[in-house]
Structure 1
Amino acid sequence: MGDKKDILQEIDQDIRDLLYRYIKTQSFTCTEREKEAEQFLMDHLSEIPYFKTHPKYFGTWPIPGDSFDRAVCYGMVKGTGDDTVVFVHHNDVVEVEDFKLLKSYAFSPDELEQELYKIKDSLPKDAKKDLEEGTFLFGRGTADMKGGGSIQLALLQRYSEIKDFKGNVIVIAVPDEENLSAGMRAAVKLLAELKETYHLNYKIMINSEPHQRKDFTKGIFSEGSVGKVMPFVYVRGYLSHIGKVFEGFNPLNLMSEIVRNTELNMDFSDVVGKESAPPPTWLYLKDSKKQYDVSMPLSASGCFSILTLNQTPAEVMEKVEHVCTQAFCKVLDEMNESYARFCQVAEPVAKELPWNVRVMDFHSLCEEAAAAYGDTFRGHYQKKVAHLSQSMREGTINLIESNFALVEFVFDYIEDLSPRVVYGLIPPYYPNVSNLYFDRLDESVKNLADDLDDYTWKNYGQHYTKEYFYTGISDLSYTSIREGSKTLEALENSMPLLGEFYSIPVAEIEQISMPCMNIGPWGKDFHKLTERVCKEDLFQRTPRILNKAVSLILDDPSLVQDDGLSQKGELI
């Protein structure tokens, strides 16, 4: 294909062939099988004539210290000029436990469709309808998100066949999106390296995560992605026998109050324009008792998830501190009231209860331990961090368990045994990003959603609405960061596991900083047995929308000449 005529001709078959081979790689998150997707991608790219001629333009970028030896895969079509469009998708998928007896068909869409027909009456109404109409392709990874990845790969190959291609296009395929985004955090460093080596001007990063439709007649373009923080709360109590409850402090009492005052609390939810982040919800809650006895537990710990549109980690921590302080005050008031009533009919244990409100962040707790034990504490602390990091890499302990093991370790060096609350953050951290937050956007990016909507209406009779944030959490969070040094400082003060095991490449994010957009096919029921993607979106509409986006960003209208579509979006 020396020229740009019919650049998208029969691309639907390319996408189908790619997808069917891509999903055969059962690249389950955080398993050795993630490497299968990496091998598939390297085999695919190495067979493309362009990359045979230009082998330095594709390859892998290892994730440092990764326990599964995973790597980011990339391919670049290097044309004329510096302007560059970056495509990104993740190649990991979630497990298929919910497929039960259909596990062996999960990665074979045609066979799975036949098997689902046999049980169609047991499927949800919407899934049954899509199955019977044949409008959606079922299978693990079809929607989330090897469908979008296959579109990107097919377009990259088409661009590689054009002589004197204007601009540059990079496809990045990352592992671990469904867990800690280790792949994307490594990809940021790869992009920084490519930018410096080839003097690239990153215009935009486009992800192709599937979008869900609120109105089935309208698609969605997302001009950003929600952020995510996971605050933790650790409540240290004071032991006593249940027959002497006023001699102790039950951490479950205070923790319960904190949970009730944070769960679904809209005070934690950002509102930007007409979009609102969902309120927080608790993901983990546990006391320290390992067996039954008649003493109250010494501690209770838990963590909850907050999605953000605008808030910084420091602002979230201020709210957490406020809620914990209020909860502590209320519990103490209730305890003192209960004790006063108890003393009216029983012999007092003491004149008054000795407890006071004590709430602090993790950094302050460490400073207290260091003030008491100095270099002894610091040395032992570093050894503990290294040991926990190694255990996490080996899979013998998880992030949440490691976090609280570290908090418990610090308490061994705390001499004041009175009750207190310690709060902080557990990885991962996703910055909230939106094109709204760029002071000066290139006109081609600023108008992109509207221009693409005009295109889809003209070619398909469908409108695409614009939203500022993709709410499903995505790797786009690492395309830019606001107040990077302040954010990093807040994380260093609040996140015990930041450093050896988990890090945020703030400097590199600032170096590659670019606007972003999610343009992906319509999908449904991600992570479920009935995961599926709209065939028309996958094979026809989305590749043409993405190609139109590239033509607009790289200012090359010749990429979109006659795409062979009727007004209804049907192939002629």
Structure 2
Amino acid sequence: MVGMYQDLKLLSESQKVEAITRALVGVKSVNGTVGEVAVAETVESILRSLPFFQQHPDCVWTQKLPGDSLGRKNIFAFIKKKGAKKTVIYHSHIDTVGIDDFEALKEAALNPDKLAEYFKNYNEDSDIQNDALSGDWLFGRGALDMKSGDAVNLTNLLYYSEHIDELKGNLLFMGNCVEENDHNGAIAALTELERLKKEQHLSYEVAVNTDFISPKYEGDKQKYIYYGAAGKALTCFYIKGIETHVGNTYSGIDSTLVASRINSLINNNPEFVEDIPDEEILPSSCLLLRDQKDFYNVQTAKVTHLYFNTFTYKRPVFEILQQLKEAVQSDCSALVKELIARKAAYLHKLSFPAVQDDRQIKVFTFAEYLHYLQQAGIHVDKLIQGFWLKNQELDKREVGFALIDYLDKQVNDGIAKVVLFLAPPFCPHNSIKRNSHVYQKLKAALADYEQEENFKMKQFFPYLSDSSYLAIDENEDEIKKLTENFPLAGKIYPLPYDKMRALNIPAVDIGVFGKGAHTWKERVYKPYSFEFLPKLIRDFTTKIWEK
């Protein structure tokens, strides 16, 4: 990649974007592999081949993730206008999801031309076949999500480096690793953004993310521009029943039954979503439901684990937890009544005497459960500290479940219970007010092109995004309540809430356009993404720099 600029300099702008996209797609950079290092080095090599950065080599640098066993890193490039404070950030992620979904085509997953030829003859899907035959689409893993977005940012960086007279402020490029699961790259980058802001006396006016957009329905021609990011909480339920032999099934409380009820209550239920007009507000989705039996026997399952992807938009996470807790509490009370009634009917049918049935299911948030244990004389803090020393190798998602199980064994109260808590990843939600400078400039930039494209401004980017970590809408008290219900948050997912609140960088998504992200049919639409989009982003950038 040493001579990348030599390959780029005679190309048109759209050809530059395509050439960089192809170069990046050709690097296998699956999340959680050393490929993430390889693609960061490729981006760095492209940047260092540009004449501006050959003259200013210190303006390109990397940031290694602290303690990362793979040596993954973020990549930065900075173009400074003398005396300027206003800074626009172009940011994008450089990792991708895996390629297993390509199955027999895995060898071609990073080869856009081979995939295009394949889809030209693919009769099972006329839409993708027509796209391949048109020549207007580029295929391959990461072509849409989001190496074309990286390429747009790099091409615009190249443009400004060659048109310094058009530079009315500062420009910072940021390529982040580890976006596709835990967002560690963006989280680590906050330290670098804070350092640069102090050293260079910068004012971060806006961060432009080029993450992908897609049609919402067949025939949808609108291009969606987002001025905020939805958040995500992993809402978890530790469910402990009362185990019993199947021959005495009416005496127990099966944790899988409780879990099934909670899943039925919450999973894809629109009653729990926020009501925000004209926004894509998605319900919770179950990501795991698993009993904890290690082997076959004829006892009912004592413990079951359950967690949901829960999107957040405007409401504080703690309020969402409280809403879920109250709903689960009500449903568990109804379930216990049903179980008691079933047992009574069974005994009556056999002419057995009625018995006192004191079964119950207690429902706690994690913070409430700790208080419950303390009231029982359990020294919670010391136990948690000891647990962590012995369990640091656990998956981040498993830590909370294992901790609650460990604590429950100390109290050994024999009571069925549900403990609601949070686990990684947590993505804060944030958005820009409509009366803000950034919103008005974005609206004006889109108006300049309304004859060419049909734009639709939306408040919340509907997928998970690194932009979530550039600002946080929740206040200190709401963050405190959130972290109190996030077991060992400071150890397993130490988010720098203070940095997010201090930086408070408005973020917008002006993304590449395509179809099939995270599938083997992934493809980016070249005319919009490679020709039109770079100009739109530059127009918006100029408007932000202006008074």
Determine the C-alpha separation between the residues in 1 that align with 2:22 and 2:153: 15
Select which of 524, 535, 542 maps to 1:544: 535
Deviation at 1:216, TM superposition (A): 3.7
Deviation at 1:454, TM superposition (A): 2.2
The aligned residue for residue 134 of structure 2 is: 133
1:121-150 CA distance string (max 9 Å, x none): 13x221111111122111111110000110
SS at match of 1:28: coil
* 1:425–1:381 CA distance, 2 compared to 1 (3 A): same
Indicate yes or no: 2:486 matched with 1:485.
no
Q: Residue 23 of structure 1 contacts residue 141 of structure 1 at CA under 8 Å; is this kept in 2?
A: yes
Determine the C-alpha separation between the residues in 1 that align with 2:317 and 2:70: 30
SS at match of 2:45: helix
Determine the C-alpha separation between the residues in 2 that align with 1:114 and 1:276: 35
1:331-360 CA distance string (max 9 Å, x none): 111112112212323465872212234111
Deviation at 1:403, TM superposition (A): 3.1
* 1:144–1:277 CA distance, 2 compared to 1 (3 A): same
Select which of 238, 246, 263 maps to 1:259: 263
After the TM superposition, which of the residue ranges 75-84 and 46-55 deviates more from structure 2? 46-55
Q: Residue 246 of structure 1 contacts residue 353 of structure 1 at CA under 8 Å; is this kept in 2?
A: no
Q: Residue 396 of structure 2 contacts residue 492 of structure 2 at CA under 8 Å; is this kept in 1?
A: no
* 1:112–1:330 CA distance, 2 compared to 1 (3 A): same
1:384-408 CA distance string (max 9 Å, x none): 324433x25xxxxx33333322221
The aligned residue for residue 441 of structure 1 is: 436
The aligned residue for residue 241 of structure 1 is: 245
SS at match of 1:423: strand
Deviation at 1:157, TM superposition (A): 1.7
Determine the C-alpha separation between the residues in 2 that align with 1:45 and 1:539: 19
Determine the C-alpha separation between the residues in 2 that align with 1:235 and 1:155: 51
1:307-338 CA distance string (max 9 Å, x none): 12212111111111111111111011111211
Q: Residue 214 of structure 2 contacts residue 514 of structure 2 at CA under 8 Å; is this kept in 1?
A: yes
Matches within 5 A, 1:22-37: 22-37=24-39
Deviation at 1:44, TM superposition (A): 1.8
The aligned residue for residue 153 of structure 2 is: 152
Determine the C-alpha separation between the residues in 1 that align with 2:118 and 2:391: 45
Deviation at 1:59, TM superposition (A): 0.7
Matches within 5 A, 1:446-525: 446-458=439-451, 461-525=452-516
The aligned residue for residue 169 of structure 1 is: 171
Determine the C-alpha separation between the residues in 2 that align with 1:384 and 1:312: 29
- What is the number of residues matched between the two proteins? 535
SS at match of 1:130: helix
Indicate yes or no: 2:97 matched with 1:105.
no
Matches within 5 A, 1:69-468: 69-80=71-82, 81-118=84-121, 120-122=122-124, 124-163=125-164, 165-214=167-216, 216-346=220-350, 351-370=355-374, 378-389=381-392, 391-392=393-394, 398-436=395-433, 441-442=436-437, 445-458=438-451, 461-468=452-459
Deviation at 1:490, TM superposition (A): 2.3
Deviation at 1:282, TM superposition (A): 1.0
The aligned residue for residue 4 of structure 1 is: none
AA aligned to 1:112 is L
Determine the C-alpha separation between the residues in 1 that align with 2:351 and 2:301: 25
AA aligned to 1:93 is T
Determine the C-alpha separation between the residues in 2 that align with 1:60 and 1:52: 16
* Runs of at least 4 residues off by over 6 Å: none
AA aligned to 1:85 is V
SS at match of 1:457: coil
Indicate yes or no: 2:47 matched with 1:45.
yes
1:129-188 CA distance string (max 9 Å, x none): 111112211111111000011010111122123345321011110011110111111112
Q: Residue 224 of structure 2 contacts residue 457 of structure 2 at CA under 8 Å; is this kept in 1?
A: yes
* 1:432–1:349 CA distance, 2 compared to 1 (3 A): farther
Two-structure CA RMSD over aligned residues (Å): 2.2
1:45-81 CA distance string (max 9 Å, x none): 2222322333332211222222322111111111131
1:17-44 CA distance string (max 9 Å, x none): 2112111221100112210111112222
AA aligned to 2:316 is T
- Consecutive unaligned residues in structure 1, runs of 5 or more: 1-6, 393-397, 557-572
Determine the C-alpha separation between the residues in 1 that align with 2:287 and 2:372: 29
Q: Residue 329 of structure 1 contacts residue 357 of structure 1 at CA under 8 Å; is this kept in 2?
A: yes
1:93-134 CA distance string (max 9 Å, x none): 11111212221221121232123334x113x22111111112
Determine the C-alpha separation between the residues in 1 that align with 2:258 and 2:106: 44
The aligned residue for residue 565 of structure 1 is: none
Q: Residue 445 of structure 2 contacts residue 543 of structure 2 at CA under 8 Å; is this kept in 1?
A: no
Determine the C-alpha separation between the residues in 1 that align with 2:246 and 2:285: 31
Q: Residue 263 of structure 2 contacts residue 286 of structure 2 at CA under 8 Å; is this kept in 1?
A: yes
- Consecutive unaligned residues in structure 2, runs of 5 or more: 1-8
1:406-465 CA distance string (max 9 Å, x none): 2212212123121111111121111121113x7x622xx22233322222234xx22211
TM-score normalised to structure 1 length = 0.89
* 1:216–1:329 CA distance, 2 compared to 1 (3 A): closer
AA aligned to 1:43 is S
Determine the C-alpha separation between the residues in 1 that align with 2:353 and 2:486: 40
Deviation at 1:368, TM superposition (A): 4.1
TM-score normalised to structure 2 length = 0.93
